[in-house]
Amino acid sequence: MLHLRRSAPRVSPNLALLLVLVLATACGGLIRYNSGETTQQARDAAATETGLSLCDPLDLPNLGFEEPVLPGEMLYNSYASVRGWRSPHGDLLIGRGNLGLDHVPDNAAYGDQHGILKPRRAGQVRAQDNTEVEYPLSLRVGQRYALVLSAMSPAAGSTVTLSMTGADISPYEFSAPGSWRQRVVPFTAQAEAVTLRIVTGERSDVGALGMSRGEVDILVDVAGVFPICDAAATAP
Residue 198, CA atoms < 13 Å, CB-side half-sphere: 28
Query: What are the beta bridge partners of residue 152?
Result: 219
- Sorted by sequence, the CB contacts under 8 Å of residue 207 that are 6+ apart come out as none
CA distances from 192 to 136, 148, 162 (A): 10, 19, 19
106 contacts 61 by C-beta, under 8 angstroms: no
Q: What is the pLDDT of residue 123?
A: 82
**CA 223 to the chain's CA centroid:** 11
CATH of domain 32-227: 2.60.120.260
Q: What is the pLDDT of residue 102?
A: 78
Q: What is the largest CA-CA distance in the chain?
A: 88
Q: Among 75-89, 188-202, 207-221, which stretch is predicted with the lowest mean pLDDT? A: 207-221
Q: What is the pLDDT of residue 208?
A: 62
pLDDT tier at 101, thresholds 50, 70, 90: confident
Where are the chain's structural domains?
32-227
- Give the CA angle between residues 84, 191, 93 to the nearest 5°: 20
195 contacts 137 by C-beta, under 8 angstroms: yes
CA-to-CA distance for 185 and 146, rounded, in angstroms?
5
CA-to-CA distance for 52 and 46, rounded, in angstroms?
8
In the chain, the N- to C-terminal Cα span, in Å, equals 88
Residue 204 has pLDDT above 90, yes or no: no
Q: Encode pLDDT of 35-70 as tens digits.
A: 999 999 999 999 999 999 999 999 999 999 999 999
Residue 55, CA atoms < 13 Å, CB-side half-sphere: 12
Q: What is the mean pLDDT of residues 184-201?
A: 97
Q: What is the pLDDT of residue 121?
A: 86
Q: What is the pLDDT of residue 210?
A: 63
Q: What is the pLDDT of residue 4?
A: 37
Element (H, E) at 156: none
Backbone angles phi, psi at 16, to 5 degrees: -60, -40
